[in-house]
C-alpha cells in the first residue's frame, strides 16, 4: 500500500522502530489530525462568522464560542454537525482511514474529546469499509450512550456554560443513519464519498484485508 | 472496539493513553482533537515521555477476544485531579 502522503507532518510525530529477541521497542507514533478545526465555521452564515471571528481575534474566545454555538450549532443539531464533518473535514477522515489501513500502525487508538462524534464517524466508516452490516454499525455507535453515562452530569455543566444543547451529548443511531443517507444522497454511495475524499478502492480493499481475521473459525 | 469504548467512557486523559500504550500495546494514537482542545489540557505529556516503550511482541491485540473482554481501566492510574487534565467544552473554542 502506498504510504499516506497527505498526512500532514505538521501534526504528526513519527518515531523509529526496532526489535530485540524477546521484546519489541518502538517509538510511539502519534498523529494529531485537526479533524474539524475552523472548517466547522462553514456551518454558519457570513454575518455570524464575521462577529464570531472578531470576538475570537479580540481574545473573547469563550464569548465567540458561545455566540457561534447559540446561533449555529444548536440550530444545526448533532445531525448538522455530522453533515458538516462529511462536507468539511474530508482530509481528516481520509488521513485517519489511511492510518487505520496501514498494518504497520496497528494496534491503533482513535480518540477525540467525547469519543463519539469525530471518532464515531471515523470508526463507522472503517466498519463500513470492512463490510460490517449497517445495523451492527449503528448498534455499535449507540453504545457510547452508556459509555459516557458516568460523565454526563459534569459534561452537562460544561455544555450549559457554553450554551451547547444537551442533545449533543447523545449518540442516537438515527443520527448516524441519516449521516450515511446524507453521504449517499450527496455522493451516490459511501464508496463514492470515499473515492471523492481520496480513499481509493485499492486502499479500501487493503483495509479490509488488514482488519479482517482470515483464519477460519474452526481452526481457532 | 470495546477497549476504545471502555476507555472513552472515562474520557481518557493523557495518562490513560500512556497506560493504554503500555498495557494494551497501542502503537499508534490518532488524536482527532483540535489544537485548542489540546492546548487546554494543563497536563500534557510530551512525546518524549513515551519515547521508548517496551512491549511483548503481539499482533492485533485489540481484536483478540482476551482484550475485548478487558474491563474498563481503573481510575487509579489517572491523575488524582482529573479536572486539570481533561478537555472540556468550555475550552473548545470553536471546536467540539
pLDDT in tens, chain A (220 residues): 443 433 433 333 333 332 222 333 444 566 666 666 566 667 778 888 888 888 888 888 778 878 888 888 888 899 998 998 999 888 889 989 998 999 888 888 888 877 889 999 999 999 999 999 999 999 999 988 887 787 788 888 878 888 889 999 999 999 999 999 999 999 999 999 999 999 999 999 999 999 987 666 666 5
Q: Judging by DSSP bridges, how do beta strands B53-55 and B28-31 pair with one another? A: unpaired
Residue in chain A closest to B56 (alpha carbons) equals A23
In chain B, residues with a C-beta closer than 8 Å to the C-beta of A115 are 4-5, 7-8, 11-12
Give the H/E segment covering residue B3: helix B2-8
In chain A, residues with a C-beta closer than 8 Å to the C-beta of B95 are 36-37, 40
A79-93, A146-160, B3-17, B39-53: which has the minimum mean pLDDT?
B39-53
DSSP summary character for residue B5? H
State the pTM of this model.
0.69
Angle between helices A118-129 and A134-147 (to 10 degrees): 150
Interface of B with A in 2-61 (CB under 8 A): 4-12, 17, 20-21, 24-38, 47, 50-61
DSSP summary character for residue A70? I
Here the cell at position A103 is 498494518
Contacting residues for A46 by C-beta, under 8 A, at least 6 apart: none
Residue in chain B closest to A157 (alpha carbons) equals B89
Selection from A49, A36, A31 nearest residue A87 by Cα: A36
3-state secondary structure of A17: strand
Contact between B7 and A109 using a beta-carbon 8 Å cutoff: yes
- Judged against a pLDDT cut of 60, whether residue B2 lies above it is answered with no
* Contact (Cβ atoms closer than 8 angstroms) between residue A140 and residue A127: yes
> Is ipTM strictly over 0.90?
no
In chain A, residues with a C-beta closer than 8 Å to the C-beta of B59 are 106
In chain A, residues with a C-beta closer than 8 Å to the C-beta of B31 are 30-33, 111-112
Neighbours of A174 (CB within 10 A): 11
Here the cell at position A85 is 464533518
Contact between B90 and A158 using a beta-carbon 8 Å cutoff: yes
* Contact (Cβ atoms closer than 8 angstroms) between residue A109 and residue B20: yes
Residue in chain B closest to A93 (alpha carbons) equals B32
3-state secondary structure of A167: helix
Amino acid at each position: 500500500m502506498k504510504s499516506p502522503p497527505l498526512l500532514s507532518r505538521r501534526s504528526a510525530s513519527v518515531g523509529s522502530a526496532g526489535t530485540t529477541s524477546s521484546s519489541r521497542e518502538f517509538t510511539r507514533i502519534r498523529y494529531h489530525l485537526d479533524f474539524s478545526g475552523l472548517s466547522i465555521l462553514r456551518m454558519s452564515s457570513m454575518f455570524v462568522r464575521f462577529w464570531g471571528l472578531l470576538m475570537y481575534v479580540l481574545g473573547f474566545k469563550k464569548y465567540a464560542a458561545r455566540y457561534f454555538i447559540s446561533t449555529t450549532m444548536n440550530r444545526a443539531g448533532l445531525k448538522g454537525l455530522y453533515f458538516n464533518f462529511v462536507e468539511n473535514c474530508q482530509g481528516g477522515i481520509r488521513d485517519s482511514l489511511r492510518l487505520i489501513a496501514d498494518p504497520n500502525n496497528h494496534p491503533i487508538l482513535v480518540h477525540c474529546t467525547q469519543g463519539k462524534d469525530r471518532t464515531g464517524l471515523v470508526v463507522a466508516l472503517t466498519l463500513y469499509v470492512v463490510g460490517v452490516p449497517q445495523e451492527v454499525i449503528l448498534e455499535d455507535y449507540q453504545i457510547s450512550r452508556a459509555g459516557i453515562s458516568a460523565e454526563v452530569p459534569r459534561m452537562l455543566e460544561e455544555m450549559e456554560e457554553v450554551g451547547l444543547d444537551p442533545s449533543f451529548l447523545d449518540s442516537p443511531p438515527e443520527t448516524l443513519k441519516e449521516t450515511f443517507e446524507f453521504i449517499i444522497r450527496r455522493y451516490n454511495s459511501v464508496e463514492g464519498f470515499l473515492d471523492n475524499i481520496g480513499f481509493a478502492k485499492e486502499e479500501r480493499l487493503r483495509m479490509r484485508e488488514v482488519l479482517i481475521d482470515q483464519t477460519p473459525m474452526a481452526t481457532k | 472496539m470495546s477497549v476504545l469504548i471502555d476507555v472513552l467512557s472515562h474520557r481518557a486523559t493523557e495518562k490513560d493513553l500512556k497506560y493504554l500504550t503500555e498495557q494494551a500495546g497501542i502503537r499508534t494514537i490518532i488524536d482527532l482533537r483540535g489544537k485548542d482542545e489540546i492546548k487546554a489540557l494543563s497536563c500534557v505529556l510530551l512525546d518524549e515521555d513515551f519515547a521508548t516503550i517496551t512491549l511483548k511482541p503481539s499482533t492485533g491485540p485489540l481484536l483478540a477476544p482476551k482484550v475485548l473482554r478487558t474491563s474498563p481501566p481503573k481510575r487509579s492510574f489517572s491523575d488524582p485531579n482529573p479536572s486539570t487534565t481533561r478537555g472540556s467544552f468550555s475550552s473548545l473554542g470553536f471546536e467540539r
